[in-house]
Amino acid sequence: MIPEFGHLILIVHLVLSLLGGTLPLLVVYANYRSLEISIKKLSVTLFILITISFLSLIYSFLVDDFSVAYVAQNSNINLPVYYKFAATWGAHEGSLVLWILAMNAWLIGFIFFTHSKDKDFLATVFSISCQVIFAFSLFTLFTSNPFERILPIPPLNGADLNPSLQDFAFTVHPPLLYFGYSGLLIPFAIAVSAMLFKKDTREWASYSRPWTLLSCSFLTLGIALGSWWAYYELGWGGWWFWDPVENAAFIPWLLSVALFHSLITSQNRGVFGKWSILLSIFAFATSLLGTFLVRSGILTSVHAFALDPERGLFILAILAFFVIGSLLIYSITDFGHVEENKYELTSKEFGFLLNNLLLVVLAISILFGTIFPLIYEAFTGGKQISVGAPYFEIILFPFALALGLLQGVALYLSWGKSSSFSFLPRLLIESLSIFSLIILILFVLFDNLYLSSFATIFLASWILVGTLQITKKRNLSYWNFLRKRLAVTFAHAGMAILTIGVGVVSSYSLEKEIILSPGDSTEFSDQTINFQSIDDLLGPNYTSKSAVVSFDDGSGLSNILTEKRTYLPSGQITTEAGIQADLFKDLYVSIGDNLQSNIWSFKIQIKPFIRWIWLGALLIAIGSFLAGVKQFKRR
């Protein structure tokens, strides 16, 4: 009964979202005032409905209702309860419901936290958001219904959740990512409504900014968790693979960063209005495009989703409708008064312009590399290619360099025209000192210097000094610092820390594949690696061969456990990497093949500073979250 109930509620939600997507527009544009509804009440109702529907799906998982096809495909009696719960969003159907729930949550936030006297404008934003929510609900019900039953004879047991998803980071990563993606709905709806209402740039930018910052914060966290998960769960120690799915999240992230920087300029100076509108549309479009690429299965990716061309077409139709529709409005709208504040080459405005140019061109280049295999296939009659990771690395480097150099000086610039560049010598000297200090620390820690890491480390020092120095220079009181500069300091310093992490990891990482039998040892860098023992273990839903490998660098012994698990229901094998993590380096070991009787192969790695990548991302997320929240207080 419960699944039917959830299904029914989802249908009611669909109908109400259609009402929400049409009625307010009739009221505003055809002036049918008698049809006026309370958008506050409707947004709360929609949210409650989708939550109930989602809860019924969770319930079906928790009680092992394998007559529900989605549960049967993604759960199992022996799956630990926590993973049964998380399996709800472990595959396509359930994650869509979560996605719709996230969109509804953002919409409620927008309705309740936006203080505008223009009720018609708010109603229009609400209505456009409801249209997107309606489209997603329709998509879910018609192509990906999570409540579909297997009747009359339901299976006795489920097929199990993909073992590599049975993991803590995985359970948190998708919700954060979906919240990030779906949050971009609000800036999109605001941008379209702003065009329809010919809103003043400063006004609509102030509505849009907090939501863009919050989405960006969630996207950052979601991407960082995904990277962390891939690092230990896929078992091979990489933290970014330039897989199409990763790019599909990275592109909207870049655009959302570009967007909130552009919105700062729009809100403060009234310029870049049209540009901010276009960016809002494309940030939203790329978040949909990502969904399309991931779930239509047209690109080779490590991310497995049940693939179905019909679904791909449906998402493409949604994407086309909203993007073409909003671009049409853009092209036929007369924007009315556009502010024309003047700015010089040395101005903050021009800094933001460069920032946006770099971020957007970078996003386009990454998008191009990601979909190029499709273009190539179409033009050569089915010849298949892939674009290797080096492509993306070659592209990223000059852009990161330019963005980093800009970021170091950006906070010193003034609106209109910067009068003095006296900060430059000091910035240069201090960042060179920090740079030397980091190099010295690296030399002490690892007895080695790699020239290849110098550029990134200098860049990081430059960003860090540029971020911290300005705070000192402004001579703010402690309280004022917290109020005014904390968010930007967190975010920009986070970028510096991430940059150090990337630079050191890519130059100082060591790896080796070895063959050992129990008791054997081998030398690796300054470590003595010893294969201590191997035992059979029994988990709740798997059996495992678990090996203890010790690392000894002369000062202390670390025993690390790595497992080769065989999950019982599916027979799928996974490798659980063993990691001894600390701030300066990770010791990483993953068990390979059993060559004969007790002889095993292992992959051992030393990953210096890898934690800094995720630590930096965390700071960026906190920074943009604080910046977003601060925008609410201001009004």
User: Two tokens at 136?
Assistant: 């997603």
Alpha helices, DSSP H only, in 63-91? 69-74, 81-86
Residue 590 beta carbon to another protein: minimum distance, rounded to whole angstroms: 8
Pick 328 or 338: Cβ nearer another protein: 338
CB 267 within 8 A of CB 204: no
Residue nearer to another protein on the CB measure, 339 or 526: 339
Distance in Å, CB of 101 to another protein, minimum? 25
Place of tokens 């249908």: 11
Please give the C-alpha separations between residue 546 and each of 122, 251, 295, 440, 562, in angstroms, as whole numbers. 58, 39, 35, 39, 6
Widest CA span in the chain: 83
Closest CA to 243 of 179, 294, 285, 284: 294
Nearest-approach distance from CB 403 to another protein, in angstroms: 12
Q: How far is the CB of 504 from another protein (least distance, A)?
A: 24
Q: Of 327 and 364, which CB lies nearer to another protein in the complex structure?
A: 364
Taking the least distance from each CB to another protein, the nearer of 356 and 467 is 356
Cis peptide bond upstream of 175, omega within 30 = no
CA neighbours closer than 13 Å in the CB half-sphere of residue 505: 22
Integer Cα distance of 598 and 281 in angstroms: 58
For residue 186, the one-letter residue type is I
Q: How far is the CB of 272 from another protein (least distance, A)?
A: 10
Amino acid identity for residue 252 in this structure: P
Nearer to another protein (CB atom), residue 369 or residue 466: 369
Between the two ends of the chain, the Cα-to-Cα distance in Å is: 47
CB of 466 to another protein, least distance (A): 21
What's the CA gap between 595 and 574, in Å, rounded?
A: 17
Q: How far is the CB of 236 from another protein (least distance, A)?
A: 9
What's the CA gap between 95 and 102, in Å, rounded? Answer: 10
Distance CA 551, CA 220 (A): 33
Q: Which is nearer to another protein, 587 or 615 (CB)?
A: 587
Of 139 and 567, which has the nearer Cβ to another protein? 567
Going by C-beta distance under 8 Å and a sequence separation of 6 or more, which residues neighbour residue 585? 445, 606, 607, 608, 609, 610
Contact between 158 and 77 (Cβ < 8 Å): yes
Cβ 340 to another protein, closest distance in Å?
6
What is the closest distance, in whole angstroms, from the C-beta atom of residue 342 to another protein in the complex? 5
Smaller CB separation from another protein, 8 or 405: 405
Phi/psi of residue 557, each to 5°?
A: -105, 130
Report, in Å, the least distance between residue 314 CB and another protein: 19
Q: How far apart, in whole angstroms, are the C-alpha atoms of residue 581 and residue 608?
A: 10
Number of other CB atoms surrounding residue 398 within 10 Å: 11
| Nearer residue to another protein within complex by CB, 338 or 437 | 338
Q: How far is CA 132 from the centre of its chain?
A: 20
The span from the CA of 537 to the CA of 16, in Å, is 52
CA dihedral 474, 475, 477, 478 (to 10 degrees): 80
Least distance in Å: CB of 386 to another protein? 5
Q: Give me the torsion for CA of 395, 400, 405, 407, rounded to 10°.
A: 140
Cβ proximity to another protein: between 555 and 597 the closer is: 597
For residue 236 the two structure tokens come to 């091979």
In Å, how far are 91, 226, 236, 580, 613 from 590, measured between CA atoms? 27, 19, 7, 12, 21
- The rounded distance, in Å, linking the Cα atoms of 526 and 301 is 37
Residues that bind another protein (CB under 8 A): 162, 164, 235, 297-300, 302-304, 306, 340, 342-345, 350, 353-354, 357-358, 361-362, 364-365, 368-369, 372, 376, 382-391, 394-395, 398, 513, 515, 564, 570, 572-575, 592-593, 595-596, 599, 601, 603
Task: Decide whether 384 or 433 has the Cβ nearer to another protein.
Answer: 384
Tokens of 413: 């610039």
Query: CB-wise, 461 or 575, nearer to another protein?
Result: 575
Q: How far is the CB of 595 from another protein (least distance, A)?
A: 6
Q: How far is the CB of 135 from another protein (least distance, A)?
A: 27
Phi first, then psi, for residue 562 (nearest 5°) are -130, 140
Query: Where in 121-186 does DSSP place strands (E)?
Result: none
Q: How many CA atoms lie within 13 A of 169 on its CB side?
A: 16
Q: Which is nearer to another protein, 348 or 611 (CB)?
A: 348
Query: Would you state the structure tokens that stand for residue 498, as one six-digit string?
Result: 């991430």
The least CB distance from residue 597 to another protein, in Å, is 10
Residue 603 beta carbon to another protein: minimum distance, rounded to whole angstroms? 6
| Whole-number Å distance between alpha carbons of 609 and 615 | 10
> Toward another protein, which CB reaches closer, 344 or 553?
344
Cβ distance to another protein smaller for residue 357 or 581: 357
